[in-house]
Amino acid sequence: MSDNVVVEEKPVDTVAIMNQLPGADIVGQSPLHHAELDALSKKGVRKGGVHLRENKLQAHLTLRCNPNNTEQLAAVVRVLDVALPLQPLTSVEKGDVSIRWISPDEWLIVVPGEKAFEVETRFREEMEGHHSLVNSSGGSTILELSGDNVVDMLKKSTPIDLHPKEFPVGKVVSTVFAKSSAIIRRTGDKRFELVIRRSFADYIWLWIQDASREFGLVIEA
Amino acid sequence: MTQKNRLQSGGRIDRSKPLTFTYNGKQYKGYQGDTLASAMLANGIDVIGRSFKYSRPRGIIAAGAEEPNAIMQLGATEATQVPNVRATQQELFNGLVSGATNGWPSVDTDVMGVLGKVGGNMMPPGFYYKTFMYPQSMWDTYESIIRKAAGLGRSPLENDPDMYDKVNQHCDVLVVGAGPAGLAAALTAARSGARVIIADEQSEFGGSLLSSKETLNGAPASEWVSFVVDELRGYDDVMMLPRSTVNGYHDHNFLTIHERRTDHIADRAPDGQVRQRMHRVRAKWVVLATGAHERPLVFANNDVPGCMVANAVSTYITRYGVVPGNDLVLMTTNDSGYQAALDWHDAGRRVAAVVDTRKNPSGDRVDAARKRGLNLITGSAVIEVQGSKRVSGVSVAPISADGKSVAGSVTKISADTVASSGGWSPVIHLSCHTGSRPVWNEEVVGFLPGPTVQKQLTAGAINGSYSTSKALAEGQQAALDAIAALGMKAAEVVLPQAVEVNEGQPMTLFHIPHLKSTAKAPKQFVDYQNDVTAAGIELACREGYESIEHVKRYTAMGFGTDQGKLGNINGMAVAASALNKTIPETGTTIFRPNYTPVTFGAIAGRDCGELFDPKRYTAMHKWHVENGAKFEDVGQWKRPWYFPKAGESMQDALNRECKATRESVGILDASTLGKIDIQGKDAREFLGRVYTNAWAKLAVGKCRYGLMCGEDGMVFDDGVTSCLGENHFVMTTTSGGAARVYEWLELYHQTEWPEMEVYFNTVTDHWATMTISGPNSRKLLQELTDYDVSKENLGFMDWREMQVAGVPARVFRISFTGELSFEINVQANYGLHVWEKLFEHGAKYNLTPYGTETMHILRAEKGFIIAGQDTDGSVHPYDLGMGWCVSPNKPFSFIGKRGMAREDCVRPNRKQLVGLKTLDPNVVLPEGAQGVLDPNAPIPMPMVGHITSSYWSANLGRSIAMGFVKGGLDKMGEKVFYPLADGRVIEAEICSPIFLDPKGERQNV
């Protein structure tokens, strides 16, 4: 090989990412697909102290990076147009992006399901240095819980103090939920959101039905 | 039957609401507001049970949680049976069905009565203690006697139809007890803006004020109670819990409250309502305002029905409008006891005598008794009671000034009720739960809460502050202290004015002397529930049990549900006297949770039935159910075990599944395998340190099997890890080991190698994993993907990204069956779609679903281990014949390297995993069978190792097994014998564990 020929080295893929979504003709089945919540919302009770809605098929992306690395933090803003919440146990929400603080170097980012690959690709372009972004969209789902008795129901399920003074809107905790776990976030005075794992979803669904029995459970589509 | 002891007016009962209840099969009437005990007393029911050891008739003694005798069996149906309910704490409702716990078939004419005496003689004090020491062989005999006699109630034989649950609570201040001290504390804390929980075991708040005629601010005390309750009700951050017993005070100010929500309404909870609720409270501060229990005095035959605690007599009259007899004799050592005689007299019944042990009593209540012209006998005591099923009279005699001997002639007085008061015992149980030793206080003549490490405050009678004004002031002060400690600003609360009562000095006296010695006098009971007498305690001391803890265990004093509420102090006093010590020198036993019994329902809460333990499901679970799978629990996962067709036995199904897979293609839902995404520039090096084998050269697109060991060198997990990118791997773990492996990686990263740039994320639930295995698996896969899955393009131990049935997938060509095999991973929301597509195309290949059992057989045919089945934490890779999977020459060490090089790990004759073929190919060895080399050796035979895996292999037409044999890898072809419990001895030959296709030709196609 002569000296003046420049060999263009193809960069080795250090991390494998893939668009994991099929075409629109194939409909995904959320972890609570079998519970047929849509049908229940039509024939179930309309009044009750606890309301439940599954916010399904969202993109769940777990980001691990260094909170002291300002360049990484800036990259997040470039990709998501919102900064990571650095204060422990807090969350941010802007447009269709929400970010939950999980641990000192870990955040859960939720964006609309179809945007997962786009966000993953953008992160690869923008973020330098040691980090990881892992797609866990198929492994979890979001339950939106609201109503006059939502706190009463949650108190049966988790030892976390849910009083507004201790658990204001925006606070997020990863904690015990019955005999499983959940990422619990307060989204309103009487409104919470649970991120739960797929394999435990049926158990938590049964648990919530049971714990809501004395208040009445309304399923929302 | 008429309520012969019911007053025409007065009390907190509602005479317009009569209720019917059943006791021992007979119907009675009571009123709304009654307890079962007050209703029984109103109806003149004297005997409510038989005693534990001596089978003596017993009546109601007290009016609250301290009641030792009236322990009832409740429930109108079999399913609603509740044992050991105190009649004094059970509110009456219409249709309540109760029965005596002991004394079947009738407490009045007890066939056990005669036997009971025999039993009593067979059970001197020390029965429990001696039973534990004497030959075990006698235990059965002892136990049946104890159980029969003990009256411990019975549990229902049917499922409890009611719902119980648990609720987590948090507060700034938890106030325990809603008497004057508790209410003052709660009011002060609530007004100051604190988050308050106030709990009281009674049906309504007020505590001692409910059964008292005293006034506050010149009005009945109940008016102030209503005022406080109304105000508390108005605060959002105040939770009021009546009918709720704070039963346990645990570390870090964690307390449990047992709330009985519907036990006062009906036999069963109304539809949809929770019967009992356990509140799990985390309190910043706790105010114990638990009050005090009055101590009865210890005198001869003091257990004859009609003997009661003085304050209980007052309570029944004042709160329930029930006078539990006609002629009262009161014996007291103090002024407060007089109230019972005053209330009795004011209710219009005869007070036969007030016997005061003090020579010259003086005080407001003594004056009141004199003013009413009551027959006051001072310097004397009731030394003995006459009667069997009801008091008929008493013997009264002067006693010496120190109370130790009888000092004059005996007078007999006829009466049907004897009330006694020996002073008060502060209710320090909860304080003791925290490990705090109580402290004796001479002035109070009782134990007070000792120093504590908890954020605990006390107020009122628990401190020996018995007057209402002191209780109120201390309650307020406790709240102020808590508020200050919380950094909050205290609000003003003006306490109501209580009327001060002048009281004379009480006499310190517990045990009333008799003409005869304690041992020879009629029984003087200390602990009614456990039938412990003063003589029994003296005997214990004589036998050399000098520590109060030993006395307790020797006599059973304060055991069981009673927890020594009435008897403990008296018992210690008797022991102290026998040992010639003071009470503080003798010391006290302490109390443990729970203060009163808690039902199993409340402890279990909703963690029962379907919710007992989480069941984890894969994305394809619905399909498995619809296709008749039998399931197996793997950790919390529900995995298909096998898929029987109609008429098939389990073995039939397994044979079919195994053959179909080896002959054409089978499919397994492998989604439960743990999956951990590993990223970072040091990911590869990290793998090299946690796995025993080498990872430095694993190329992108390649997969490798790895073994993971603990520091001791013993295998604890295994699995295939694949290189997704230069800095990106996905590790698989066993289904049950996923969480442990993930924690293991984090532990080593965070504590040992934090400098390594690597992140771990669990993706187990994210991917649905389906493995197609068998000679036709490639054809099937090719039909569903455009990607060329030929041998040349997708080799063994390669992975590629491709679309399968229109869904992006990662396909790994790895094999746990030894067949050509593809593991298809798709985002779990699309798992069922791909699974169903595989079946659409797989029908022509007889695509056969199989479960964990066929998976186990197929891998055993290949000699592949299952971590946790063929390993047990005591085997290293070389024991498994897997030295090929250890790379001792890696530049950096790996976990377990030194462990497996220990002397014991390299010695000869270790147990090694080998294959075993039974001589008779039709016999399947039981897993766990122990092997011996000489079946005729004398017992105990030297054992050489056990069978870990054993199956019928339909593909091989014979049984196969894997197991450990000492030095087995060097004993190929030798014989091992397995003597079984049924007498058979199975002979087997040691062989390679790879029973099928030792060269791996089937998977390399």
For the stretch B55-105, pLDDT in tens is 889 999 999 999 999 999 999 999 999 988 999 999 999 999 999 886 443
Query: Which spans in B31-77 are helix H?
Result: 36-42
Residue of A nearest to B801 (CA): A18
Which among B273, B613, B763 has the least Cβ separation from residue A179?
B613
- Minimum-distance CB partner of A203 among B166, B274, B615: B615
Partner residues linked to B525 by β-bridges = B533
pLDDT value at position B561?
Answer: 76
Contact between B930 and B978 (Cβ < 8 Å): yes
Which residue type does B501 have? V
Q: What is the CATH number of domain A34-220?
A: 3.30.1360.120
Give me the residue from A31, A130, A139 closest to B763, CB to CB: A139
Tell me the CA distances in angstroms from B862 to A21, B454, B477, one per residue in order.
Answer: 37, 61, 77
Rounded CA gap, B915 and B988, in Å? 10
Q: Which residues of B touch A123 (CB under 8 A)?
A: none
Adjacent-strand bridge partners of B382 = B396
What pLDDT, on a 0 to 100 scale, did the predictor assign at position B297? 97
Pairing of strands B219-220, B163-176: unpaired
Q: Which of residues 60-79 of A touch B (CB under 8 A)?
A: 62, 64
Across all residues in chain B, what is the average pLDDT?
93
Cross-strand partners of B823: B771, B812
Confidence of residue B272 (pLDDT cuts 50, 70, 90): confident
pLDDT, mean of residues B886-907: 96
For residue B50, pLDDT over 90 is answered with no
Q: Which of B607, B727, B829 sits opposite A28 (nearest CB)?
A: B829
B504-517: buried (b, 16+ CB within 10 Å) or exposed (e) per residue? bebbbbbbbbbeee
Q: Do B810 and A179 touch (CB under 8 A)?
A: no
- The CA-atom distances, in angstroms, between B951 and each of B505, B893, B975, B995 are 84, 38, 19, 12
- Most distant CA atoms of chain B, gap in Å: 116
Beta bridge partners of B197: B174, B239
- Taking CA atoms, what residue in B is nearest to A105? B759
Cα dihedral B903/B904/B905/B911 (nearest 10): 150
Subunit contact B637:A202, Cβ cutoff 8 A? no
Strand-strand pairing, B57-58 and B26-32: unpaired
Is residue A57 less than 8 Å (CB to CB) from chain B?
yes
Site from A9, A10, A12, A14 to mutate, B interface, most B CB atoms within 10 angstroms: A14
Interface mutation vs chain A, best among B162, B824, B827, B836, most A CBs within 10 Å: B827
How far apart, in whole angstroms, are the C-alpha atoms of residue B896 and residue B692? Answer: 8
Cα gap A173→A195, rounded to integer Å: 10
Chain B CA closest to residue A180: B614
pLDDT of B111 reads 41
Question: How far, in Å, CA of B258 to CA of B299, rounded?
Answer: 35
The whole-angstrom separation of Cα B39 and Cα B550 is 39
Nearest CA in chain A to B637: A199
Q: How confident is the model at residue B905, as a pLDDT?
A: 97
Domains of chain B by range and CATH? 1-158 (3.10.20.440), 163-292+426-485 (3.50.50.60), 296-422 (3.50.50.60), 517-586 (1.10.10.1100), 674-762 (3.30.70.1400), 908-999 (2.40.30.110)
Q: How far is CA B359 from CA B381, B506, B879, in A?
A: 11, 11, 88
Q: Per-residue pLDDT for B730 more than 50?
A: yes
A155 vs B726: CB contact, 8 Å cut-off?
no
B613 contact residues in A (CB cutoff 8 A): 179
Q: What percent of chain B has pLDDT over 90?
A: 87
Residue B110 confidence class, pLDDT cut points 50, 70, 90: very low
Which H or E run includes B678? Answer: strand B674-679
Tell me which residues of chain A, numbers 127 to 146, contact chain B at a CB-CB cutoff of 8 Å.
Answer: 130-132, 134-140
Instruction: Say which residues have a Cβ less than 8 Å from residue A129's Cβ, sequence separation at least 6.
Output: A65, A66, A69, A71, A72
Mutate to test the interface with B, among A29, A180, A200 (most CBs of B within 10 A): A29
- What number of CA atoms fall less than 13 Å from residue B330's CA on the CB side? 30
Residues of B in contact with A142 (CB under 8 A): none
What letter represents residue B587's amino acid? Answer: G
Question: Are B375 and B396 spatial neighbours (Cβ–Cβ below 8 Å)?
Answer: no
Nearest to A156 among B166, B170, B810 (CB): B166
Instruction: Give the nearest chain A residue to B195 (CA atoms).
Output: A163
Chain A contact set for B808 (CB, 8 A): 18-22
Give the closest residue to B91 by CA, choosing from B153, B178, B183, B14: B14
**Count of CB pairs separated by less than 8 Å, A with B:** 162
Instruction: Give A-chain residues touching B826 at CB under 8 angstroms.
Output: 20
d(CA B555, CA B398): 31
When scoring B676, B765, B840 by the number of chain A Cβ atoms within 10 A, the one with the most, hence best to mutate, is: B765
Taking CB atoms and an 8 Å cutoff, what residues of chain A touch B250? none
Q: Name the residue with higher pLDDT: B189 or B142.
A: B189
Query: pLDDT band at B117, cuts 50/70/90?
Result: very low
Bridge partners (DSSP) listed for residue A54 = A143
Q: How far is A58 from chain B (nearest CA, A)?
A: 11
Q: What is the pLDDT of residue B53?
A: 76
The residue of chain B with its CA nearest to that of A29 is B829
* pLDDT exceeds 70 at position B151: no
CA distance B287 to B180: 13
B359: pLDDT strictly greater than 80: yes
Of B163, B616, B725, the CB nearest to A13: B725
Q: What's the CA gap between B443 and B455, in Å, rounded?
A: 26
For B372, the token pair is 């009413």
User: Cβ atoms within 10 A of the Cβ of B388, count?
Assistant: 12
* Predicted local confidence at residue B119, as pLDDT: 43
Test B724 with A160 for CB contact under 8 angstroms: no
Instruction: Flag whether the ipTM exceeds 0.85.
Output: yes
The stretches of chain A forming alpha helices (DSSP H) are 37-43, 70-80, 116-126, 150-155, 201-211
* Local structure of B971: helix, strand or coil: coil
Q: What is the pLDDT of residues B848-880, one digit of tens each?
A: 999 999 999 999 999 999 999 999 999 999 999
Q: Low-confidence residues of chain A, pLDDT below 50? A: 1-2, 6-11
**pLDDT tens by residue, B534-587:** 999 999 999 888 888 888 888 888 887 778 889 999 999 999 999 999 999 988
pLDDT tens track for B305-353: 999 999 999 999 999 999 999 999 999 999 999 999 999 999 999 999 9
pLDDT at B116: 38
> Nearest chain B Cα to A206, which residue?
B611
The secondary structure of B686-713 as a DSSP string is HHHHHBSS--TTPPTTBEEEEEEE-TTS
Residues 145-174 of A with CB under 8 A from B: 152, 155-156, 158-161, 163, 166
Chain B residues in contact with A140 (beta carbon < 8 A): 765-766
Domain ranges of chain A: 34-220
Average of per-residue pLDDT across B615-629: 97
Flag whether residue A22 sits within 8 Å of chain B, measured between CB atoms.
yes
